[in-house]
């Protein structure tokens, strides 16, 4: 009987690039004509977003936009806001080339400084930190079984995952929203706090249907009321359909809804009074999809009739440990800033996020920046912020030493009450996936040397072997060039690993 070798493809997932690079941002800008002169800068906020990431050969090109918000005081001690949008372009040299890589880019502001050159001119300097992950999903053919000419193969079932998709779908939400009854008209927007949350998603063959909502809170200067500010809050339902090739109902999915930009402008009604606002928000639906698979693979072989050689290679088989959909609640009591009598507006930002693995537990931690405009007894507003720590361990235990992850942190809910102190409550959402890369030594080739027959012991058909506790029947059979099944049958064994010292009868081929 000739040697017959069966093969099957095994999905591999290699991280080609996982690093953070910096992109400098520098510009010299003038205030728009409709903005009053600058007396003092209160805060400068940079909100970067990557819009496109393309790999060509070993070069990764990233395009994006940085929205810079400037909050300042005018000569009339009025709280003012203006923004600038600056495109950026980053070229990253990858170590290797790859066909059809999957790219994920998360952009966040690094160091940023805003310096007034004069009352109408600003010098902006800073950096954008781009956290880049490039994943290459491929298939490697390996030996799954071999028979004939006395070849014996050791096989096992290896669990793994095949990455189906890792993509981002940008889209825009445009709405015209009417102020609540009794609210003063809008003269100028000051600060927009916007939260996106994914409430549900369903998988239909080849498509992911996502539903969520956008919560918008706007602080604005009231029309005709100097130094009077008010807020308006709206909730907007969202739905999106994303085409994902090879997406099936048994796939493991993780989806996140992120805000990458927002613009709010006052809109006049039929009476010419701005009792409405025009909202344009740029959102991003991030989708990660993988499929669990099992592979029957050969890890070792030998010949009982002829000398047999085999080639093997380490194959990185990735296992999906758990899709993460965690909510981290926070509840803090903060003192009012000195001499502040009330809080006009408060919002929160993720200032820092960190994921670590300790004792097979995933620790989700970071810092929350609590931002607020406090009002003095004179009615004047001032900006303040406080830092709050958060930390929570993932409920599921990870049975993996070197797991890696792709997680997204975002504010899902924030509410506060002021009664002598600030009672702050909210929720941070963490979504993504945790993987465990395992390198398996798998057979890729088997060759029989028919001119080198195995020299057996022709004088006996059985030999006696005194085995130790923990020895493998496979290794014993390989040493004597016989079949493991024959050893197990001869000695009434059911498991490959011996649980005690015992004498074995070894059939000789």
> What is the per-residue pLDDT across 305-332, written as a single tens digit (0 to 9) for each?
888 988 999 988 888 777 888 999 999 9
Residue 15 has pLDDT above 90, yes or no: no
**CATH (residue range 455-509):** 3.10.350.10
| pLDDT for the residue numbered 280 | 94
pLDDT band at 6 (very low <50, low <70, confident <90, very high): very high
| pLDDT for the residue numbered 450 | 86
| C-alpha distances in Å from residue 476, one per residue of 145, 367, 470 | 20, 57, 12
Residue 484 CA to residue 479 CA, distance in Å, equals: 11
Listed by start position, the domains of the chain span 10-137+162-291+320-438, 455-509
Contact 186, 179 (CB under 8 A): yes
Residue 302 has pLDDT above 70, yes or no: yes
Contact 366, 409 (CB under 8 A): yes
Residue 459 has pLDDT above 70, yes or no: no
Residue with tokens 């006395």, as numbered in its chain: 150
| pLDDT for the residue numbered 266 | 93
Contact 38, 74 (CB under 8 A): yes
| pLDDT for the residue numbered 76 | 85
pLDDT band at 456 (very low <50, low <70, confident <90, very high): low
Pairing state between β 121-147 and 102-116: antiparallel
Residue 437 CA to residue 15 CA, distance in Å, equals: 10
Q: Please tell me the least confidently modeled range out of 54-58, 160-164, 395-399, 501-505.
A: 395-399
Residue 489 CA to residue 221 CA, distance in Å, equals: 87
pLDDT in tens, 321-362: 778 889 999 999 999 999 999 999 999 999 999 998 888 888
Residue 100 has pLDDT above 90, yes or no: no
- Rounded to two decimals, the pTM is 0.84
417-450 burial, b if ≥16 CB within 10 A, otherwise e? Answer: ebeeebebebbbbbbbbbbbbbebebbeebebee
Residue 1 has pLDDT above 70, yes or no: no
| pLDDT for the residue numbered 454 | 83
Residue 1 CA to residue 508 CA, distance in Å, equals: 20
Residues 6+ apart with CB under 8 A from 134: 15, 16, 17, 18, 55, 60, 94, 98, 101, 102, 103
Q: Could you give the percent of the chain with pLDDT greater than 70? A: 98
Q: Could you give the percent of the chain with pLDDT greater than 90? A: 57
**If you average pLDDT over residues 496-507, what whole number do you get?**
90
Residue 7 has pLDDT above 80, yes or no: yes
Residue 458 has pLDDT above 60, yes or no: no
| pLDDT for the residue numbered 128 | 93
Can you count the helices (H) and strands (E) in the chain?
Answer: 2, 20
Residue 125 CA to residue 375 CA, distance in Å, equals: 30
pLDDT in tens, 462-492: 888 898 999 999 999 999 889 999 999 999 9
Contact 222, 273 (CB under 8 A): no
**If you average pLDDT over residues 365-393, what whole number do you get?**
93
417: its two tokens: 């009450």
Contact 198, 257 (CB under 8 A): yes
**If you average pLDDT over residues 136-164, what whole number do you get?**
90
503: its two tokens: 């004498």
pLDDT band at 457 (very low <50, low <70, confident <90, very high): low
Neighbours of 149 (CB within 10 A): 16
Residue 368 has pLDDT above 90, yes or no: yes
Residue 64 CA to residue 62 CA, distance in Å, equals: 7
Secondary structure E strands in 339-403 = 340-358, 361-376, 381-393
Residue 409 has pLDDT above 90, yes or no: yes
């Amino acid at each position: 009987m000739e040697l017959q070798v069966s093969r099957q493809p095994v999905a591999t997932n290699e991280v080609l690039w996982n690093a953070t690079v910096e992109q400098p941002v520098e510009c010299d800008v003038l205030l728009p004509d409709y903005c009053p002169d600058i007396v003092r800068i209160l805060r400068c906020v940079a909100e970067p977003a990557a819009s496109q990431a393309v790999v060509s050969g070993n070069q990764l090109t990233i395009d994006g936009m940085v929205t810079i918000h400037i909050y300042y005081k005018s000569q009339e001690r009025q709280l003012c806001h203006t923004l600038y949008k600056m495109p950026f372009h980053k070229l990253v040299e990858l170590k290797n080339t790859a066909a059809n890589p999957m790219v994920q880019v998360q952009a966040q502001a690094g160091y940023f400084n805003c310096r007034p050159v004069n009352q109408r001119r600003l010098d902006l300097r800073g950096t954008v930190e781009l956290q880049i992950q490039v994943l290459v999903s491929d298939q490697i053919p390996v030996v799954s079984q071999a028979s004939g000419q006395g070849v014996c193969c050791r096989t096992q079932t290896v669990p793994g995952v095949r990455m189906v998709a890792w993509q981002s779908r940008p889209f825009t939400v445009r709405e015209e929203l009417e102020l609540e009854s009794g609210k003063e008209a809008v003269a100028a927007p000051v600060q927009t706090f916007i939260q996106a949350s994914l409430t549900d998603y369903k998988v239909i063959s080849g498509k992911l249907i996502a539903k969520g909502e956008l919560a918008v809170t706007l602080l604005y200067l009231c029309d005709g009321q100097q130094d009077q500010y008010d807020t308006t809050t709206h909730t907007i339902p969202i739905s999106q359909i994303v085409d994902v090739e090879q997406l099936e109902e048994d796939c493991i999915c993780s989806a996140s809804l992120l805000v990458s930009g927002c613009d709010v402008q006052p809109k006049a009604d039929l009476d010419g009074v701005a009792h409405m606002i025009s909202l344009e928000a740029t959102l991003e639906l991030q989708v990660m999809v993988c499929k669990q698979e099992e592979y029957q693979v050969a890890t070792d072989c030998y010949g009982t009739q002829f000398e047999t050689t085999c080639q093997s290679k380490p194959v990185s088989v990735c296992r999906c440990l758990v899709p993460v959909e965690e909510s981290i609640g926070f509840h803090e009591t903060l003192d009012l800033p000195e001499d502040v009598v009330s809080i006009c507006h408060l919002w929160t930002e993720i200032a820092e996020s960190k994921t670590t693995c300790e004792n097979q537990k995933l620790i989700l931690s970071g810092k929350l920046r609590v931002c607020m405009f406090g009002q003095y007894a004179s009615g004047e507003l001032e900006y303040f912020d406080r830092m709050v720590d958060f930390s929570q361990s993932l409920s599921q235990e990870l049975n993996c030493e070197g797991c890696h992850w792709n997680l997204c942190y975002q504010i899902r809910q924030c509410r506060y009450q002021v009664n002598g102190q600030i009672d702050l409550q909210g929720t941070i959402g963490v979504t993504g996936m945790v993987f465990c890369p395992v390198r398996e030594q798998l057979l890729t080739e088997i060759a029989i040397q028919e001119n080198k027959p195995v020299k057996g012991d022709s004088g006996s058909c059985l030999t006696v072997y005194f085995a130790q506790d923990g020895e493998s029947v496979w290794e014993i059979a390989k040493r004597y060039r016989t079949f493991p099944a024959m050893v197990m049958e001869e000695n009434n064994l059911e498991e490959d690993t011996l649980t005690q010292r015992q004498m074995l009868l070894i059939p000789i081929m």
